Chains A and B, each alone.
Chain A
Amino acid sequence: MSTNRHPIEREELMAYLDGELPADQATEALSHLELCAECQTLVADFRGVSQELMAWEVESPDVGIPSEINAALGERLQKREAAKVGSPRLINRVMTSRWVWAGALAIVCVVVGLTLLLTSRNRNEGRSTTYPSMASIEQYLMPDRNAEIALARSAAPQSISSDAEIMVLGWRGYETAIEGKNGFVCMVERSWTSPFNSAQFWNPKVRVPICLNPAGARSILPLTIKRTEMVLAGLSKAQMIDSIKAGFDNKELPAPEPGAMCYMMSRAGYLNDAVGHFVPHLMFYFPLTDKTSWGADLPDSPVTLNPQFQGGPEPITEFVIPVAKWSDGTAAPVM
């Protein structure tokens, strides 16, 4: 395969499938993949290998915590309690020495320095797996506006997204980059559309392409806009939750309209650290609804209840249905 004909290497194509390419490169890969039959074959080969490997399942025995582990656990927790009880006398004795204070201060300085160093290194290498607070806004923005537009469009088949309004995230929130004609709105959501208690809530790597249908654009999009405005305004999670509750109470935020749904069929997205680009799927929004009415989460049912709004301030129920193809028409792994 000549690199003159292919703007991306075959290894990069594999990395793209594994969700290991940055969003901008992933968009480039996706654009090329749509046009290159040779690369589509390679992608199908890789997917085939992965699917064959998954045939090898290993069933683990259903066991509780074994007695050896329980015993070791009990011993450790007891020792820890004993250490807590015994420590004050020791502390009182040693704290009388000013040399101890000086030593402690030195240790604190070293620990703080190392922590800052490690935090910085982890950020640089993109390997941090916990996101306790918001990163700098730049990390959530996509510097290439065209790449964000292409990524947003990749959420739905071209027949839908080509006439959709496209919104991109700027310093002050989402703004319309391209006017639409068919009532659909496509955009790239960021991590703060996750549940408030999600460990991914501040993950700056998250890029979620989504195309909302007209009913979804009227009734679900305002929620994304509001969350984004509050995040950029620096509100705490508690303040955001209160504001959303108030928004629904005073009708500033609408209930999901009948028929509200969205397409999430991009393979260039990055939904979170656990699932990467996930699988292509559709989502349907309702006012709070019993999941059994859709047979969601029942054995062999293709419908699942998305936990996005579960336990959150939004009175919304959201069902997910995987589909067989990505937005470019290529086959996707079946759930």
Chain B
Amino acid sequence: MTSDEALMLEFQGGSRAAFEELFARYHKPLYGFFGRRLNNPERAEDLVQETFLAVIRAASRYEPRASVRTYLYGIALKLLAAERRRFLTSSTSEQSAPEPKTGGTPECMLWVRQALEKLDGPEREILMLREYEQLSYSDIAELLRIPVNTVRSRLFRSRLALKSYLESEAKSNPALRPNAGQPHPGRRGMQ
């Protein structure tokens, strides 16, 4: 399989097929990125498009210094920050936006979302980048411009805190809790 970086360089060289392959690889992960952070599926899709438009506009300036994956999430984080600023200054509340469409049961989603919302913003972001976007510590450090050790210590704190929230929630509201330990259904190739 051609690497993301090779595809990006092919796209720089004028290959439409290379861009289409990158789009196919990253559309779903980017939608997940925005979908979990915004309560608005339509805006999530818009921002995925904006991410790819930014890639097209900046293609000539891309350098294979960082992975394409990190590069894309870097763009996505900037767009997300702009979106949040826009929300703060607009009359539209995030709370009134429709809920994202989820594959799990609503209880599953609610359970996890409520626990995540209790974390501090920066710690939540690090945890989500690690767990959902599967970024390495160094990638997260580069994106958030913080030392790798800070990523590690915040990730550690956030995981312990989340465990504590989930346990207390399980005690106070056992009916809400989905089957614990349900595995991720995704399958990853070995080689």
B-binding residues in A (CB < 8 A): 10-11, 14-15, 18, 20, 45-46, 48-61, 63, 65-66, 68-69, 72-73, 76-77, 80-81, 118, 122, 125-127, 129-130, 194-195, 197-200, 271-272, 274-275, 278, 281, 304, 306-308, 320, 333-335
Contact = CB atoms under 8 A, between A and B. Distances in A.
Interface of B: 1-3, 5-6, 14, 16, 19-20, 23, 27-28, 31-32, 35-36, 41, 44-45, 49, 52-53, 56-57, 59, 64-67, 100-104, 108-109, 111-113, 115-116, 127, 130-132, 136-138, 152-153, 155-156, 159, 162-163, 166, 178, 180-184, 186-191
B49 A68 contact: yes
A335 B187 contact: yes
A81 B14 contact: yes
Nearest to B48: A60
A275 B188 contact: yes
Given A10-B156, A51-B182, A54-B184, A59 B112 contact: no
Given A65-B20, A275-B188, A275-B189, A58 B101 contact: yes
Contacts of A198: 1, 191
**Cβ-closest 6 pairs across A and B:** A57-B103, A54-B184, A60-B31, A199-B3, A58-B35, A55-B108
Contact of A18 (B20, B56, B137): B137
Contacts of A278: 188, 190
B6 A199 contact: yes
Contacts of B36: 56, 58
B181 A51 contact: yes
A107 to B, nearest CB: 15
A311 B131 CA distance: 33
Contact of A308 (B6, B20, B190): B190
Contact of B130 (A18, A48, A63, A195): A18
Contact of B191 (A48, A55, A306): A306
A50 B189 CA distance: 19
Nearest to B14: A80
Contacts of B188: 274-275, 278
A60 B156 contact: no
